[in-house]
Amino acid sequence: MPWTNNSGGGSPWGGGGRQGGPWGGGGPQLPQAPNLDELLRKGQDFVRRFLPHGFGGGKGLAIIGLVLVGIWLLSGFYRVQPDEQGIVLRFGAFNRVTAPGLNYALPAPIETVLTPRVTRVNRIEVGFRSGVDGGVARVGPLRDVIEESLMLTGDENIIDIDFSVLWRISNAPDFLFNIRNPEQTLKSAAESVMREVIGRTPIQRALTEARAQIEQAVRTGTQAIMDQYGAGIEVTQIQLQKVDPPAAVIDAFRDVQRANADRERLRNEAEAFRNDIIPRARGEAERLVQEAQGEREARIARANGEAQRFIAVLSAYSEARDVTRLRLYLETMEEVLRRSPTIVVDDKVQNVVPFLPLNDLNRGAARQAAGLGDKPMPIPAAPATPAARASGVTR
């Protein structure tokens, strides 16, 4: 060996063939280098000690080598869980995708296997930090991240928005190899799209009825960016956790909101009153118009009927004057007599008619029949003169 001389061993600076080192006696003693041949011999002796007698030759070493190669080949079996996807890399480059179950790949360092979870829905928080972020639990209360949550609205107001991005792996090779940090890229893209959407939305709509539209627009825009990058990520949902004005002005803004709510309530009440009274007025007007039209049609019909009747009577009178004159006289007398009270008095009875106020009795009976009163008419005194007595007799 190079550090061993023929005169007794030791280093060239040690005591042996020469006293002391080149700097004088008592120089430092350097350690001797290991003898490789000696180490190999000791290793072979150690292996033979555990092998049966006669098994330490070249044949035994070949068997041991075969066993080791077999163990190395068996190490290529791997299992892919149902929520995972097997990505096989050959010398560090993507080779193939394997399905869930028991699979085989060439052992390392030829092939290596990655098993990302492709069905698990992951979560990224923007504007706040809770106990769970990206599926990893953390200890600590909810914390607001002001630099992420404060945004400018379309009407130049500031709004505080916290939201979560729910996503999963849609293409495992693209997710692993196309982007260096896919989760941070997704977070930055979602925050950028949210700021763009809020920048086009007035603060009033963002706080009230536009939440669903904002979530849908942010999800669509973020998914478009991820597809453009080829990130292999599917954005499943955007959840708005908090949409409020900044903390410094939230009390005043809530007062304004309550005033706006009262204004909207009063406006709705006025609209309801208008919607109630206007249709009723229109219905009443239409009813009056219909009644007037009906009355007009009825009067026109009656006038036409009277005119037709008069024409018919005139035609009949022209053809038979005597008969028509008699018939008209009889009809007229029938109408007159129907309206006049009739009292029949026997001519043989004397001194009866002058003392009975028959006309007054008949008028009282007619008033009672008409419901004008239940009190009987007063009976006047009998007339004293013959003319008055004669005037009490009617047909």
- Give the per-residue pLDDT at 254: 79
- Give the per-residue pLDDT at 299: 93
- Give the per-residue pLDDT at 163: 93
Query: What's the Cα-to-Cα distance from 99 to each of 56, 96, 115, 158, 290, rounded to whole Å?
Result: 45, 10, 10, 49, 80
- Give the per-residue pLDDT at 350: 61
- Give the per-residue pLDDT at 16: 43
**How do the pLDDT tens digits run along the chain, 395 residues long?**
344 444 444 444 444 444 444 444 444 444 455 666 777 677 667 666 666 555 555 666 777 777 777 777 777 787 888 777 788 888 877 878 888 878 777 788 887 888 888 888 999 999 888 865 555 445 445 788 888 888 998 888 888 899 999 999 988 888 888 888 999 999 999 999 999 999 999 988 888 888 899 999 999 999 999 999 999 999 999 999 888 888 778 788 778 878 988 999 999 999 999 999 999 999 999 999 999 999 999 999 999 999 998 898 888 788 888 888 888 888 888 888 887 776 666 677 665 545 455 566 666 666 665 555 445 444 444 444 444 344 344 43
Name the superfamily (CATH) of residues 122-245: Band 7 domain (3.30.479.30)
- Give the per-residue pLDDT at 356: 53
For the chain, the domains span: 45-73, 75-114, 122-245, 256-339, 341-391
- Give the per-residue pLDDT at 320: 81
- Give the per-residue pLDDT at 189: 94
For 233, the token pair is 């990520």
> Quick check: 344 and 316 in contact, CB under 8 A?
no
- Give the per-residue pLDDT at 384: 41
- Give the per-residue pLDDT at 57: 56
> Quick check: 93 and 180 in contact, CB under 8 A?
no
